[in-house]
Amino acid sequence: MAQEERIQPVAIEEELKNSYLDYAMSVIVSRAIPDVRDGLKPVQRRILYSMAELALRAGTPFKKSARIVGEVMGKYHPHGDDPIYESMVRMAQSFSMRYPLIDGQGNFGSVDNDPPAAMRYTEARLAPIAEELLADIDRDTVDFAPNFDGSLREPIVLPGRAPNMLVNGASGIAVGMATNIPPHNLGEITAALTALADDPDLSTEALLRYVPGPDFPTGGIIQGRDGIGAAFATGRGRIVLRGRVALEEQGRSGRYQLIVSELPFQVNKAALVERIADLVRDKRIDGISDLRDESDRHGMRMVIELKREAQPRQVLNALYKFTALQSAFAVNMLALVDGQPRTLPLKQSLLHYLEFRRQVLRRRAQFDLTKARERAHILEGYRVALDNLDAVIQTIRGSQTAETARTNLMRQFRLSQAQAQAILDLTLRRLAALERKRILDEFAEIIKAIAGLEDLLANPRKIDVLLKEEWEEVAKKHNNPRRTFISEEEAVELTEADMVQHEPVVVTLSRAGYVKRLPAETYRPQLRGGRGVVGLRTRETDDVSHLLVTDTHDSLLFFTHRGRVFHLRCYELHADSTRQSRGTPLVQYLAMEPGERVTALLGLSAFDSDRYLVMATREGEVKKTALQEFASVRSNGLIAMNLESGDELVEVKSTGEADDVLLVTEQGQSVRFGVKGLRAASRTSGGVRGIKLAANDSVIAMNVLDPSSDVLLLSARGVGKRTPTSEFPTQARGGLGVRAMRVSDRTGPLVAARVVKVDQEVMAISAEGIVIRMAVSGISRQGRAAQGVAIMRLDEGDQVVSLALVSERLSDEETPPSRRRRR
């Protein structure tokens, strides 16, 4: 019955809430979150204190880690040897701690995430900077509390002469919260503390002059200062880190290799190497031919060899995008302040530590003052005894016992019990003249020290002066140069374009809607009249309609016969591996309607505000619209021109206001007029008359003229010529124009016209996919009335369908365009 009376009914939700809160606070305060004053978690603090008790200071012999772990677990931290040893190992790792607190001997792990040796094999002692955290712990500078069983006492915080929380950082996951404090440079932090002691009103921006950013033990490069500023101002932020990579040329081979010498903080090097290898094997990163780790005891060296045609910047961007070579450090400066977790900006962290050190110095000064006063009190008794030596000796000799002698001395010379006892303990040798002088000198010094300590405690500014002297000494002894470089270039989200190398490519499009992309160097130059090579494998019912030489980063505008336009970046097209492949259906890229076909293809590197698109239709209408109106084209397309019934859009060119354009028809007629004479119209409007057509004639091309260039005309049967642009007179648009080339049964109708220069090359493609690439200089220059010469030899039934200009001259002796900077 008595037992039942002790049972109290409790609501289960209340019990769960209270128990969970108790557990959560225990984890937060006693496990995962560091104290803002010394920057240590309880297990770390207990390890360092136990090592100090074992006298394992810097310079002393090492002691087995198992011995240290046993000391910590048996006296202060009864939570198992594994977590104790793990914490101890981390404090000894130079790649984990900016300033390691433990000097380890043996295998303490590696940056490749190799595990440390068992604690029975390793040895350790305190690192020199750890002694700064423990300095003056025996001078009543911090409070002590009973250990887990009440048999011993342990410090609740270390004196922390060095600002450990900021210089070494911390990370931990508690219940419902986490901390992730980056490490910093000791010299920079002590400089900021000194400045803050002089002026507590310093802003975060002013502190950035002393602490430009975190300083990680593994080095690396911080991208930009925006993340640092946010983290320092609010205690939370995102700092983007990149590894340090150098580009080296491999002798005379013309190949390059990327040398990684530093990694972002907490990146596993072995896992990074494996990740890069996987990406290369899966063809997500192109351009890497070999990968190896040449790291040794002299430092890190990871070698990434590139293929001859690879562009290093694009390969490096891909590594940043898909691997941990670029990582983000999520700053969350959560620490315990008076036992409560708080997110602290940089200034608040410094101020809390500054106030703690002031308190430590005051307590130390008060401890020293108490000791000095106690010593002065004893020395005062000595002085009384020395001034009355004979009487003192007589009093002692006349006493029956020591207790009686002490009482008589106290009564006769007005001494305290401590003074009387000290006189009784005084040895005879101290009565010598020299010893008497030493006692008097010590007394004078003690009195002077007492005055100095009293003045120190009465003047807070002198406390700050002493603090600054200590920080200067700590920085001088333990600081080393900054390892992490801070780049002014802000980190940006890498896009697919950043990972694609600039490269001249040939884009071909068939009438059935198959598109493909190949490197321009796939097609080697040939002589005029050559047979060409297979450029596109077509079906019997399909032939090639367009050929465009452009750059992988250019924007492609696809104009359809209905006057609509679609946008696609060139690198988004699938890169075909062979000339013989058919390509990919265009409908996989563009949301075209059934029966809609592309009639004009344009490549653009930029959408300049002072440029226009001039469009021409098969029936001879033209229109001018600002280029910027096409900068944002929806996936389902936009209206580019309103067409008359039965008309089709055939050509689109990018022009300037001062340019002249030339319309050419399949029967060899042409008209030249100025773009300035065209009124700029909106996308949805229709056109105006550009050329008056004869019966059965239609516009096949429109070109922007260059006074120093020629017009290259090519017919369906491979006959062509070059004609100087000066032979085409400027006329009013809307007329019949002048003859551009004499068309006959031998030539067939004109199919293409391009403005070319003598040092350029062109590509022509036939309906059956045969491509020929030739120098413009090899094509005859003739007048407007001439018929031309054979440029391409065709099979029976085949005909030329398209002509494209190659932007750079490429011969067998010259370097391929992929190795050359784009002009």
Q: Which residues are tagged catalytic?
A: 121
What lies within 8 Å, CB to CB, of 414 at 6+ separation is: none
Angle 446-447-450 from CA coordinates, rounded to 5°: 85
CA angle at residue 440 from 435 to 441, to 5 degrees?
A: 95
C-alpha dihedral (365, 366, 370, 376), degrees to nearest 10: 40
Cβ(579)–Cβ(516) below 8 Å: no
Return the H-helix or E-strand segment holding 146. strand 144-146
H-run or E-run covering 600: strand 598-604
Q: Return the ∠ at Cα 82 (arms to 107 and 56), rounded to 5°.
A: 60
On whether the CB atoms of residues 580 and 537 are closer than 8 A, the answer is yes
Beta-ladder partners of 603:
556
Token pair for residue 731? 């006329």
**Is residue 116 classed as helix, strand or coil in its secondary structure?**
coil
Name the residue among 36, 35, 350 with its Cα closest to residue 193.
350
SS3 (DSSP) at 63: strand
* Residues in Cβ contact with 473 at an 8 Å cutoff, skipping those fewer than 6 apart: none
Single-letter amino acid code for the residue at 454: E
CA dist., res. 483 & res. 354, Å (int): 25
Q: Is 574 left (phi over 0), alpha (psi -120 to 50) or beta?
A: beta
Report yes or no: 190 and 471 within 8 Å, Cβ to Cβ.
Answer: yes
Question: Tell me, what amino acid is at 610?
Answer: D
The CA distance from 327 to 310, in Å, is: 24
C-alpha 350/C-alpha 194 separation (Å) is 10
Report CA 722 to chain centroid distance, whole Å. Answer: 53
Gap between the Cα atoms of 269 and 261, Å rounded: 11
Dihedral sign, Cα of residue 202, residue 205, residue 210, residue 216: positive
Torsion, CA 737, CA 738, CA 741, CA 744, rounded to 10:
80
Residue with tokens 């300095």: 135
Residue 420: burial class (beta carbons within 10 Å; 0-12, 13-18, 19+): buried
**What are the residues whose beta carbons fall under 8 Å from the beta carbon of 181, sequence distance 6 or more?**
34, 165, 166, 169, 170, 171, 331, 332, 333, 334, 335
Place of tokens 């058919």: 582
